[in-house]
Amino acid sequence: MSIFSLHHVTLGTADARSNVAYYTNTLGMRLVKKTVNFDDPSSYHLYYANAAAAAGTAVTFFEWQGARRGAPGIGGTARITLRYGDGSGTAQFVRDPDGVEYVLRGDMHAGYAGLAEVEIWSSDLTRSDEFYSGALGLHGAQVSLNERTWSATPNDAPIVRAISKDPRQTPRARMGAGQTHHFAFAVSDDATQQSFLNRLTHAGLRVSPVMDRSYFHSIYTSDPDGHIVEIATVPPGFAIDEPIDSLGQALKLPAWLEAHRSEIEGVLTPLP
């Protein structure tokens, strides 16, 4: 029973058009799924990934039209690191149109390879470690008095980095455009996910039932600072409802929303 990587990160955007342009043209990602927020079908859920639409590469967005900017803070993600090629070389810092801060590792000409790390702000690194190491089984390392990391195995690069922040001086994260809604860890199958559900429940943590997200199955819990953390399966994958070579071209809806397709298409922002 183990987490082997990040699965995806989901954020908010105030404008789907500029979002698509930036992630495909500037960051060189592939739009692999154009669907809707299953909990709010009047808004997009856009998925970007690498060329193969592989697990551990997805950055996804809910469109909240005209939403105010979010802000980093305790319980939120401050920075996301993306890997290009083999990830070697000089890192560069960029911000997307909604203000999301990224570190880009590697040569962008080598192509987008996947998610490397999320950076969170923690009010108590010991409590954070009890969650990420104790409840989730990740491997922690103390970087300094104010910084800690967790990796999937002792020899792997970190996938989560926590920076200690004093809650008397640092506000909580403010949800909005450009702020992370949740991030997800990847597990290999439903049985592994069920083991985590049992483990989290026995630890006395709040955890959702298994939810069918069409392209993966999900359970949700929260870390000690309230950041939503998802554990998602790799199967069935993005090619379950359209050919791999035409991913992201058509609006895909789950079966229970197909009867409302014309109504949903009527309120969504037209995309190129």
Digit-coded pLDDT (tens) for 187-207: 999 999 999 999 999 999 999
- Rounded to two decimals, what is the model's pTM? 0.96
| Domain chopping of the chain, boundaries | 5-267
Burial of 41 (0-12, 13-18, 19+ CB in 10 A): buried
| Average pLDDT value for the chain | 96
pLDDT attached to residue 252: 97
CB atoms within 10 A of CB 121: 23
pLDDT tens figures, 42-91? 999 999 999 999 999 999 999 999 999 999 999 999 999 999 999 998 89
Residue 272 pLDDT exceeds 90: no
Phi-psi category of 248—alpha, beta or left, where left has phi over 0 and alpha has psi -120 to 50? Answer: left
Contacts of 117 (CB under 8 A, 6+ apart): 6, 80, 81, 103, 157, 158, 159, 160, 161
Average pLDDT over residues 131-146: 97
Looking at 3.30.470.20, 3.10.180.10, 3.30.420.40, 3.20.20.300, the CATH number of the domain 5-267 comes to 3.10.180.10
pLDDT attached to residue 90: 86
